[in-house]
A = this chain, B = another copy of it.
Amino acid sequence: MVITSVKNERIKELVKLKDKKYRDKMGLFFIEGLDIIDEAYKSGVLKYIYVLDGYDNPYGDIPCIYVSYDVMKKISDMESISEYYGVCEKIDNDKVGDRVIILDGIQDPGNLGTIIRSAVAFNFDTVVISKNSVSIYNPKVLRSTKGMIFNINIVVCELDNFIDKMDDYLIYGTDVVSGIDVREMEVSKKMAIVIGNEGSGISKEVHDKCDKFLYIDMNDKCESLNAGVAASIIMYEVNRR
């Protein structure tokens, strides 16, 4: 059977998942495009899949709902339509590994997605995200991660309380004014890097909880780097050793 009406209950449910409150209530979120769905499948969180009529369900063990072109078009968030949507169980929990990147108020979806992608690339195992950051379930964030969000621990929390419990970690803040050149940073078994908001940097409360500070040496003409780039370079440097 192919669903041809946007009034169908399954379609209404999918569209409602664009809303944060409904996502939280259901403990579900949706993703689009086969690349990212494939990563969700491999990590075991894919619950079911919506497939454009005429295409195959690549996963025999995942329930599949076939949908007409017109319905797919109405669902799609992008200019071009996707042939596949996946619905997944929410992935944030409270698991923390040894290499942690902490994000304090990141607002740009592209930056958050890019940082998650780079974190996996450079062998960080955990991304801790403040509640006032952009949602990890924002479609643009998910697209920018290129599916890497399913390969890392994701914690969304109030940073203040959370960092208090990380007392056996070496916690580095970033600060252009004071601190250690990132090329000379000390790498310890359990460590965390804090990246602040794009405009205002790290909040005072979190700044006070950092053990040391890092800066990236750069030309005086340039005041700062893009937050996604700065985070990626520091993680690259940790992984470089």
Contacts and interface: CB of A to CB of B under 8 A. Distances in A.
Contact of A219 (B123, B221, B223, B229): B123
Interface residues of A, number: 30
Interface stretch (A14-22, A24-32, A80-88, A114-122): A114-122
Nearest to A42: B221
Q: How many identical chains are in the complex?
A: 2
Contacts of A239: 217-218
A223 to B, nearest CB: 7
Secondary structure at the A interface, as helix, strand, loop or mixed, is helix
Contact of A122 (B110, B218, B232): B218
B148 A222 contact: yes
A122 B182 CA distance: 14
Given A232-B232, A232-B233, A233-B233, A226 B144 contact: yes
Nearest to A227: B114
A212 to B, nearest CB: 20
Contacts of A228: 114, 226, 228-229
Interface in A158-182: none
17 contacts: A114-B226, A117-B222, A118-B225, A120-B221, A121-B219, A123-B219, A146-B224, A148-B221, A148-B222, A151-B222, A217-B239, A225-B232, A226-B228, A228-B228, A232-B232, A233-B233, A236-B236
Contacts of A117: 222, 225-226, 229
